[in-house]
Amino acid sequence: MKWLRLSAYLAGIGCSLLAAWWLFPGKTTEAGVTAPPSQKWIPSLSETEEFCRFDHPEWRRAQTIEGVEIAADPECRPDNPYLIAAVVKGTNRVTMPTLMKTRLAMDAVVKENDRDGDGDPDVIHIRLEVGELNGSTPDGDFLIPGYRIAPGLTPGLWVFVPKMRGMATVDAVNLDAAPLLRAPSPPIRVEQGDTVYLTLENTHYLPHTIHLHGVDHPYRQADGQGNDGVPITSEKPLLPGERRTYIIRPRRAGTMLYHCHVQTDKHMLMGLQGLFIVEENRPDNWLQTFNVGGGKVRHPSRAVREKYAQEYDLHYQSLDKERYRPIQEYNDPRLVAKGMNRDYDITDNEEDFFLLNGRAFPYTLRDSLIVVEPEQKILLRVVNGHPHTLALHLHGHKATAIAADGVPLAQPVTRDVHALAPAQRLDLVLDTHDDGLHSFGQGIWLMHDHAEKSVTSDGVGPGGDIGLVVYRQYLGDDGIPKLQGMDLTPFFNLGMFQRQIPLWARSDAWEIFSDTGPLPPDTLRVILSGISLGLALGLTWACWRRWRQPS
């Protein structure tokens, strides 16, 4: 009889547990007569950045440093003018106080030997290192050196960097990357006919090379060393701690490219790609050898100054979470190499982050603005570093393509969407004459890749490679564009691209679009599931007592 009673108890306990489980309130609750009220999003000060905080507003002015004229750049965060002076004069020729404001190594850009006697140096020695941004560390759960492409976004990146000195981070306390160490790999400018020694010092823990894509260069050097940077054909990959010098004397001018040719579906797309511009030969033509930063060329070449009021370098590139995952997950280079070369499969993955000059919206509004005046002709050198076609669209303008891949177009093309195949370069002329074709007049005009995923950051938009063409009268003296659209505060919050903030949280009608408040669980369900659970507990206790009693 004891066993019969026991099974009756167990059946009772089972049934009441089942009922409690079934009746327990679920993750969502049906609304009654009125839906729950809206939840107002209030930005927390500690998690929201200012639109523009910058320690060196004096960098925005037009200025002359050591005889080098540097054009004004009135946006929030212009490039360091001392760095521009140093790379124009050469790091071997500039004075120590200027060089000390740059973190460039003294041999980063060595300029000498005016061979043709035209007043500018013709033998240029450029040294590049390889930097990793947002990599892992065995010393804790953080990424080093830190680099944000947008608030709260720290994807893993590799870049070529002008040879540096000192720390890779801001200082011993702030572990963000030093300003020189940033994306994109810096545009390099040399003069047609210069002898250029381009030395790669591989400071990274994986092998790399430099391929001078489209730049006139011999396949081999006089001593037989490979000069094409291709591990399949011309040379072995350059190992960590080693260096190699590529030697060129480019005969033709044009907008070209340089990139690492080791595992290009990984290394090039991790960021080891940059513009390489051969400028036309002119007398007294001191070039800005590196254009580190947001794209504006503050010391354009003679030939560019003859024809254009301004010049900008625009580098579009994208990043894939799966591709860079190994550098944030592992320290051991063998695990990184396996994770990238064998576990990662580019044919199964999609790009997640889209950058203009190393940043995503809204950071592009701080240092990658194109600030124009009416009646200007502006040269834009665009490179498509995405693995997809770039459909570059300018609002309010139809730009004219005058050269592709460094070759002048026989028939210039004026349109508002310019297609660039992967690795392709276009020289675009942005004409701000308000004639109803080239420009529709003054304003703040959007500029973006019209492949729509590119205007998101990991699928959250607006983000990605959105940039702006801002007419000067629409730019405040603080470098902030006088926008009259939606409140951008949520985009400067760390949670925005982590999908934590409703898009129209700051709209006047936030109560319509904001997140809904929660509902309390259904009263009947709370009572019934509680009773069932209580029943199960009571039965268990009774059963236990019965069992213990001697029959």
Partner 1 sequence: MIRPVLLILFLWLPVAAFPGHRMDMDSMVMNENPTRLPQGCAGIAGDRTITVRAGRKYAKPFPGVVFAYDQRSWEVPPCTRLTVRFINEDHIRHQFMVHGLPPDLYPMGMFTIEVSGPGEETASFILPPYKKTYLVHCDIAQHTEHGMKAQLKVAGGDGDLASLPGLTKPVRPDRYPTRWTGRSLLLLALALVTGAALVWLGRWLIRAMTEDQP
Q: Give the interface with partner 1 as residue ranges (CB under 8 A).
A: 92-93, 95-97, 105-107, 112-114, 129, 131-133, 135-141, 144-145, 163-169, 171-172, 177, 181, 201-205, 239-243, 330-335
- Least distance in Å: CB of 61 to partner 1? 24
- Say if residues 261 and 245 touch (Cβ distance below 8 Å): no
Q: 316 is written with which tokens?
A: 């579009």
- Least distance in Å: CB of 120 to partner 1? 11
Q: Which of 272, 367, 251 is nearest to 313 (CA)?
A: 367
Of 135 and 274, the one with the shorter C-beta distance to partner 1 is 135
Of 334 and 545, the one with the shorter C-beta distance to partner 1 is 334
Of 32 and 97, the one with the shorter C-beta distance to partner 1 is 97
Of 113 and 349, the one with the shorter C-beta distance to partner 1 is 113
- Least distance in Å: CB of 54 to partner 1? 22
Of 244 and 397, the one with the shorter C-beta distance to partner 1 is 244
Q: 546 is written with which tokens?
A: 């019965």
How far apart are alpha carbons 244 and 287 in whole angstroms? 24
By CB neighbour count within 10 A (0-12 exposed, 13-18 middle, 19+ buried), where does 223 fall?
exposed
Of 107 and 265, the one with the shorter C-beta distance to partner 1 is 107
Of 45 and 173, the one with the shorter C-beta distance to partner 1 is 173
Of 57 and 146, the one with the shorter C-beta distance to partner 1 is 146
- Least distance in Å: CB of 337 to partner 1? 11
- Least distance in Å: CB of 225 to partner 1? 14
- Say if residues 292 and 357 touch (Cβ distance below 8 Å): no
- Least distance in Å: CB of 143 to partner 1? 10
- Least distance in Å: CB of 261 to partner 1? 20
Across 416-451, the runs of DSSP E, i.e. the strands, are 417-420, 425-431, 444-449
Listing DSSP states for 39-77 in one string gives: PPP---GGGB--S---S-GGGGS-EEETTEEE----SSS
The b/e string for 42-53 (b: 16+ C-beta within 10 A; e otherwise) is ebeeeebbebbe
- Say if residues 125 and 199 touch (Cβ distance below 8 Å): yes
Peptide bond into 462 cis (omega under 30): yes
How far apart are alpha carbons 340 and 325 in whole angstroms? 8
How far apart are alpha carbons 318 and 183 in whole angstroms? 11
How far apart are alpha carbons 175 and 143 in whole angstroms? 9
- Least distance in Å: CB of 324 to partner 1? 14
Of 18 and 239, the one with the shorter C-beta distance to partner 1 is 239
- Least distance in Å: CB of 191 to partner 1? 17
Q: Which of 465, 495, 545 is nearest to 42 (CA)?
A: 495
Phi, psi of 423 (to 5 degrees): 75, 0
Helix, strand, or coil (residue 195) = strand
- Least distance in Å: CB of 330 to partner 1? 5
Of 138 and 436, the one with the shorter C-beta distance to partner 1 is 138
Q: Which residue has the tokens 């580098």?
A: 315
